[in-house]
Each structure stands twice: as C-alpha cells, then as structure tokens.
Amino acid sequence: MDFLYYFQLSLVEIYFIIFTVFIASIIRGFNGFGFSATCISGFSFILPAIEIVPIILILEVIISIFMVPYIWNKIDWNFVLKLLIGITIGSPFGLYLLTYLSPKTTHLYVCLLIIFFSILLMRGYSNQNINNNYGKFFIGIISGTLNGLTTLGGMPVALFLLTTSIQPSVIRGSLAALFFLTDIYAFVLSFLAGIVDITTIYRTFPLVIILPIGVYIGDKFFVKSKEETYRKVVFYFLIFISIVGMFRAITNF
C-alpha cells in the first residue's frame, strides 16, 4: 500500500502500535502516568529508541491536554512546582552521570528498587513525615537524575505519593500535570536537536485519534474504583513495567 511508505512500517506493525497506544492511554487515564513506559515497552520491539522518543513526547503532551477536564480540580500545584525545581536540578546531573555509569546497569538496579518498594507499600508501609518541602525537593532531584540517566523518573514520584497516602485523585491529577510540563520541555529540546522529522509526524497523526478514547475508558475505570483498588493497580503496574525493564536491560547486555 502506498500510504505505508509515509509511515515506513508494515501494516501489522501499525496495528501493533495502535493497540499499544490504546492500552497505554487507558493506563494513563486511570493512573495519571505510565503512558511512556507502556509505549516504550511495546514500541521497542519495532523501532529504535531514537525514533520512539519523539513520538511518545508528542503523544504525551496531547494526551495530557485530553486529561485536563478529568484532573484539573485535583492538581496539587504546590507539589508539582516544588518537584519541578528538583527535577530541573537533577536532570543535568543524571545526564552528567551517563559519562561514568552504565545506563543499562543503573536501569536494572532502579527496577529492582521499584519492585522492592512497591511490594513494601503493598504490605501497608506508609510515611507521612516525608510529605514536606524537603521531601518534595529531594524526590524531584532523584526523579530528574533518574530521568536523565534511565528515563525512569516518573516511578519514584509515583512511589513517593503512594508512600504519603495522598488521595488517588490528587495523585493522578498531580502526576498528569507534572509530566505534561516536563514533556513539553523535553519535546522542545528534541525538536531543536532535529530528532523530530516528517516521518515522526506521519506516525503520530493517526495515533492522536486513539488518545481521548483510551483516556475516557481509563477515567471510567478510575471513577468506579475504590482507593485500595487504585493503589493495587498502580503497584502491579510498577512491578510489571520494572520486570519488563529488567528483561530489556539484561538482554541488551
């Protein structure tokens, strides 16, 4: 088919990407995060990383806009802004560490820690004492560092919010707002670096139609779920994505 030339993908690969984006958008609509992690896990079977990142950044920005009606009144802007300051400090440090540490090895260790703390929190651990300005700055720095080094910056933020027993609606709204701002910044950098090209636009355009459908379904699941159910789903998601990440890190050694 002639239109496949513009995507530089087979029809089967296009269907697979559409399905992955649909599942990822449902997860984002429910959790408030996890879209990028899910897409990366799926896309990596088809595309190289340098082609995956710009597609996901564009979709992340757009899906955040679709989520606004569902989360706007639940965003903790104080938390988001303090975390952004920490991320701004930590991101360059993470990029600097790339010259000294192996991203694959670090990725493996981070996934192991995420699994450990997810299981710990599932068993009832919580800590309100870290829910202060210092805690927010610190987790922002950790998130920014890990994002620059391994692209796993969102996971520690999710764990931080779950540890402090904040309401699920606030967790979802704050995470969605945070990643919207950070993804806009990352997309601008990618565009200036010339990573976004016309093929990226062709591949992204038809996927935009899927996003509001997935977000709507995810929000319906969220509204009907209990707080305990939300936390369990997030924990299981973090564990699953960490296992996938460990598998990819090990097979790429």
DSSP 85: H
- Residue 32 DSSP SS3: coil
pLDDT value of position 103: 64
Rounded Cα–Cα distance for residues 245 and 108 (Å): 7
Task: Give the pLDDT score at 200.
Answer: 77
84: Cβ–Cβ under 8 A, 6 or more apart, which residues? 140, 178, 181, 182
Average pLDDT of the segment spanning 111-136 = 82
* Secondary structure in 3-state letters for 21-73: HHHHHHHHHHHCCCHHHHHHHHHCCCCCHHHHHHHHHHHHHHHHHHHHHHHHH
Q: Which two tokens stand for residue 233?
A: 């789903």
pLDDT for res 150: 61
The count of other CB atoms within 10 Å of the CB of residue 49 is 10
Task: Output the pLDDT for position 211.
Answer: 94
Q: pLDDT tier at 98 (50, 70, 90 boundaries)?
A: low
Greatest extent of the chain over all pairs of C-alpha atoms, in Å: 60
For residues 1 and 162, the model is more confident at 162
CA 144 to chain centre: 13
Contact 171, 231 (CB under 8 A): no
Q: pLDDT value at position 159?
A: 82
Residue 7 confidence (pLDDT): 63
Q: How confident is the model at residue 223 (pLDDT cuts 50, 70, 90)?
A: very high
Helices and strands (DSSP H and E) totals, the chain = 12, 0
Residue 39 has pLDDT above 90, yes or no: no
pTM above 0.75, yes or no: yes
Mean pLDDT of the chain: 82
151 has pLDDT over 70: no
Q: What is the pLDDT of residue 23?
A: 94
pLDDT band at 228 (very low <50, low <70, confident <90, very high): confident
Tokens 């440090």 label which residue?
A: 93
Please report the pLDDT score of residue 152 as a whole number.
65
SS3 195: coil
Question: pLDDT tens digits for 183-202?
Answer: 787 777 777 767 777 777 87
Is residue 122 over pLDDT 70?
yes
Instruction: Report percent pLDDT > 90 for the chain.
Output: 14
**Is-contact 117 75, C-beta < 8 A?**
no
